Amino acid sequence: MNGEPYNTDIHWGVLTIPDLFDRVEQAQQSNAFDVEVKYHKERGYPIEIYIDENEIIADEEIGYSVYNLSD
């Protein structure tokens, strides 16, 4: 994270790549109203995620973006 190794004490709330895959799977298994995912063309990890759990509940949607990852 910004050149520092990922540390849950410092970077709480930041999802790892495995966390993002888990979040997509959870949304799909819970039959969320809308799950949209775009994946990195070469590496296959999610780069954009949009989840709307319930069509009739306002403002519960969530989105994630992944960018500028280093090897």
Q: What is the pLDDT of residues 9-29, one digit of tens each?
A: 877 778 999 999 999 999 999
Domain annotation covers residue 31: yes
- Give 1's pLDDT tier (boundaries 50, 70, 90): low
Domain annotation covers residue 10: no
At residue 45, the pLDDT reads: 96
Domain annotation covers residue 46: yes
Using the Cα atoms of residue 63, residue 49, residue 46 and residue 28 in order, give the sign of their dihedral.
positive
Comparing 1 with 31, the larger pLDDT belongs to 31
**70 pLDDT above the threshold of 90:** no
For residue 45, CA distances in Å to 10, 22, 60, 65, 69 come to 23, 12, 24, 11, 11
How many domains, in total, are found in the chain? 1
